A and B are shown apart, each in its own frame.
Chain A
């Protein structure tokens, strides 16, 4: 439990909202692991944004090869060594951050959007609409997500967009269940009744009054899901269904490197570590955020 930390302000009383934020921030900063997660995620975001410009050998990201420098072990020149085409593994790993972060974000956003709509409508409408939508999402939960994503991605062909669509298809049921529960709890609240009394239409009630009030758990779930989304993207890349070469992607880098083990271990270890660190960072951050926003789950 965090100690009471509000210092009485002489000039101007702070609003309750800002006070809550300050406390949340304090609680977040209390946990060293959460701060570590935030640091890793920030670094990752930075790499996704400017990685291709910071990479020491940017031409390798475009598919350039230098066969004279094949399979060089890690050195001052090539921090993570070079791969079977003489490309700098460090540059490839930096460039790969972009695909992973972008695709992960897109999957989580799409999944959350679709799930929120489905869950919101199910919870708000009730009756057979609710039954139908929830049975559908139950069914989706029994279908193995990875197999479904593989099937869809293989049929749509390679490319980031297709991959994102394929993964999102199996991503929304979790959000739908979460939002439905929250909407059920909210829809009898006084402010909803009040809005209804002054003649708000159902769509307005749901979109303007109810959904904004159930977003906190959705955002927390999104942050917890980011790591898993990145993991799924890398998994598809590893199986060989993902982005088109030469775009560097961690999973496919790892899958190619498999055949060069154990002699050229660095081509496999560093992309693998990058996946692990990215997922770990998001998991730490998500765990910290959940502790702040959802006090029930706190230790």
Chain B
């Protein structure tokens, strides 16, 4: 078990190395002159060149890459040529907001999607099943940014139940930063008011994010449940006279869930990269907004940083999924 874990974690090294090479190459091979962009419209060519020298951009590409790797080993992800802030500090500030959003969306999706998928499978070919199919196709067809706008229009503008956007009002006192997840920090501080305010801000963006993973999880869960229902042991349980409810909740759900787990892992990474749109709509101060700003100014250190963080999290989450897989099903437990 431990050797498996160590082996998987060691595999992370070549993946990350590959990621840096790839993103570095893409960022630097693209046309456009980010330095000129950052130096401002009135900068003379000499000033632009001096600005580039300051960031070591006049060096050969391989040397720049070497310096980047060396910095990476010491936890230094470079500096933004635009704000001159270290990328690692920006990431520390923005990552928790995005993580909180993705975790909330994923929790919603699993809590609703899994039972609905189970139900659709049990009610196969009856109206709940049919309805779930249409809903799922509709849900994955819904642009997240449009859903976000509709939610704003309805829940915030027309009804005034929820705040229009943002993560936390400046008028309220922030709970002490422990995890960076506002809801968790507020609970840890025992500040129920802050918790409530944070939840109000979190709800709409999380809803907008959760719809498409919810639909996918539901369809996956339905499919794997149908497969499990055909297994001999289910027949045996029925023959033994176990009540349907017990068969479904205790035996079928557990086995069907392990296939769904893989999708959850894959979706997690996809959501991390896909927060851009929802963060734009709700003005959520996370990685997505940060990446958008960096992209528009062609500021490549932040872009590489964001990509690395998301790539690492993606690999880690999928490792976690593989471990959970073994927990649910002893048959696939790594020796």
Contacts and interface: CB of A to CB of B under 8 A. Distances in A.
A146 interface: yes
Contacts of B133: 33
Nearest to B143: A275
A287 B157 contact: no
B295 A150 contact: yes
Say what secondary structure dominates the interface of chain A.
helix
Contacts of B134: 33
Interface residues of B, number: 50
**What is the interface residue range for chain A against chain B?**
35 or more
Contacts of B214: none
Contact of A155 (B269, B291, B298, B315): B298
Nearest to A138: B15
Contact of A238 (B142, B145, B270, B295): B145
B274 A146 contact: yes
B64 interface: no
Interface in A130-158: 135-136, 138-140, 142-148, 150-152, 154-157
A272 interface: yes
Contacts of B19: 139, 142-143
Nearest to A286: B137
B143 A234 contact: yes
Contact of B149 (A227, A240, A268): A268
A197 to B, nearest CB: 40
A97 interface: no
A207 interface: no
Contacts of A231: 141, 143
A147 B303 contact: yes
Contact of B142 (A240, A241, A258, A276): A276
A143 B296 contact: no
A258 B282 CA distance: 11
A20 interface: no
Contacts, number: 130
B173 interface: no
Contacts of B13: none
Interface in B287-309: 291-292, 295-296, 298, 303, 306-307
Contacts of B149: 254, 258, 261, 268, 272
Contacts of A239: 276-277, 280, 292
A152 B30 contact: yes
A142 B306 contact: no
A284 B141 CA distance: 10
Contacts of B26: 148, 151-152
Interface of B: 15, 18-19, 22-23, 26-27, 30-32, 124-125, 133-134, 137-138, 140-143, 145-146, 149-150, 152-153, 157-158, 226, 269-270, 272-274, 276-277, 280-281, 291-292, 295-296, 298, 303, 306-307, 310-311, 314-315
20 contacts: A139-B15, A139-B19, A142-B15, A142-B269, A142-B310, A142-B315, A144-B310, A154-B298, A157-B32, A231-B143, A238-B145, A239-B292, A241-B295, A241-B296, A254-B149, A272-B143, A275-B146, A276-B141, A276-B142, A283-B141
